Amino acid sequence: MADEEGMIRGLREQRREALREFVEQYQSRVYHTALSLVRDASDAEELTQDVCLTVWQSIATFKGESALSTWVYRITVTRSLDLIRSRNRKKRFAFLSPLTNAGNEVIHHPVDWVHPGVLQENKEKAAWLFRAVEQLPEQQKVAFTLSKIEQLSQKEIAEIMELKEGAVESLLQRARHNLRKYLEDIYDEIK
């Protein structure tokens, strides 16, 4: 991992070429992880810039107890979840805006949002799946997204989420169970 160590050293020394190398290596991963969680391309782009800036400004706090990629994923997931929580708070109180004329903007997820990496012939199935994933509790959603969309191992997910591997396995099992139940309910409704 001499390359990673050199990049970390360069980032700590605030060298621009280290930042450029970091962005080239991590930008795509950060964007796709954020996109999978927040389901909005412009938000994912903003989050990607935010994560890169955070790494640049906070590299001194990186202890090296895990891989740099783990730390970056952790920042990405945290920032993505913060944005989702913020959206949910806005949605919850949006009904007050007509009463108070505050003009608060209501943010909604696109109904038929599909990750750009999904093949055309699978878009309808993927839309149902993404709708179902959206219904999962936060921890299950993160574990499922990192496992199935980002294709990370349970060990990597455990490091990112700061959990034991057994806890990640349990989250994934519960996520699959909940997704199965949700999709069966939807299927029964459209019959």
Model confidence pLDDT, tens digit, residues 105-132? 444 444 445 555 555 556 677 777 888 8
Could you write out the DSSP letters of every residue in 83-119? Answer: HHHHHHHHHHHGGGHHHHT--PPP----TT---TTS-
Fold of 1-84: Rna Polymerase Sigma Factor; Chain: A (1.10.1740)
Structure tokens belonging to residue 161: 């989420």
Domain ranges of the chain: 1-84, 113-191
How far from the centroid of its chain's Cα atoms is residue 2's Cα?
28
Q: What mean pLDDT comes out for the span 130-151?
A: 92
**pLDDT band at 185, cuts 50/70/90?**
confident
Question: Of all residues in the chain, what percent are helix, strand and coil, respectively (each to 5)?
Answer: 80, 0, 20
The CA distance from 21 to 176, in Å, is: 37
Model confidence pLDDT, tens digit, residues 60-99? 999 999 999 999 999 999 999 999 988 877 765 554 444 4
* Model pTM score: 0.77
From residue 90, give the alpha-carbon distance in Å to each of 33, 93, 132.
Answer: 23, 5, 22
How far from the centroid of its chain's Cα atoms is residue 94's Cα?
24
CATH architecture, domain 113-191 = Orthogonal Bundle (1.10)
How far from the centroid of its chain's Cα atoms is residue 172's Cα?
16
